[in-house]
């Protein structure tokens, strides 16, 4: 599995996840500040393919020059180069109202349904 850390790029994380997972036909696992990519048959995912897909996504938003992609082992980190100029651009890209997910504060489980999250939280108190 490849981990893509979006701690410094949370505004584009959800859209990046969808783009990269669709491009590579990989199974994504969403966490609060990163996502994991893998295949159902446990075959290895090529890290270079993931990096190229991330670059394509950033190019499509005309943001490639504003981010650097760092790779170490099976981890890829997306770093913002200049925070001052990017705040407005990232706010336009990221609509907080368009994020349909509810997240468990205990384990990071995410769902589109609030009732499912409430039911899920009960397992932490058993």
- CATH label of the domain that carries residue 6: 3.30.1360.210
The answer on 126 and 115 residing in a single domain is: yes
The DSSP bridge partners found for residue 37 are 2, 28
Which tens digit of pLDDT belongs to each residue from 84-111?
666 666 666 655 445 667 888 888 888 8
State the Rg of the chain over Cα. Answer: 15
Which tens digit of pLDDT belongs to each residue from 5-60?
998 888 888 888 889 998 998 989 888 899 999 888 878 889 999 999 999 999 98
Is 0.75 topped by the overall pTM?
A: no
> What domain range includes position 118?
95-126
The answer on 54 and 112 residing in a single domain is: no
- Where b means 16+ CB within 10 Å and e means fewer, 76-115 reads bbbebeeeeebeeebeeebeeeeeeebebeeeebbbeeee
The answer on 100 and 76 residing in a single domain is: no
Which tens digit of pLDDT belongs to each residue from 70-84?
999 999 999 888 766
Cβ burial of 13 (10 Å; 0-12, 13-18, 19+) is buried
| pLDDT given for residue 93 in this prediction | 64
Please state the domain count of the chain: 2
């Amino acid at each position: 599995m490849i981990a893509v850390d979006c701690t410094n790029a949370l505004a584009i994380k959800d859209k990046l996840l969808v783009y990269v997972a669709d491009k590579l036909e990989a199974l994504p696992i969403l966490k609060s500040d990163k996502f994991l990519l893998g295949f159902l048959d446990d075959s290895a995912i090529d890290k270079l393919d993931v990096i190229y897909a991330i670059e394509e996504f950033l190019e499509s938003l005309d943001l490639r020059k504003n981010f650097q992609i760092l790779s170490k082992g099976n981890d890829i980190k997306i770093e913002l180069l200049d925070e001052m100029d990017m705040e407005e651009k990232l706010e336009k890209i990221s609509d907080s109202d368009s994020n349909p997910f509810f997240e468990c504060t205990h384990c990071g489980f995410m769902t589109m349904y609030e009732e499912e999250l409430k039911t899920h939280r009960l397992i932490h108190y058993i």
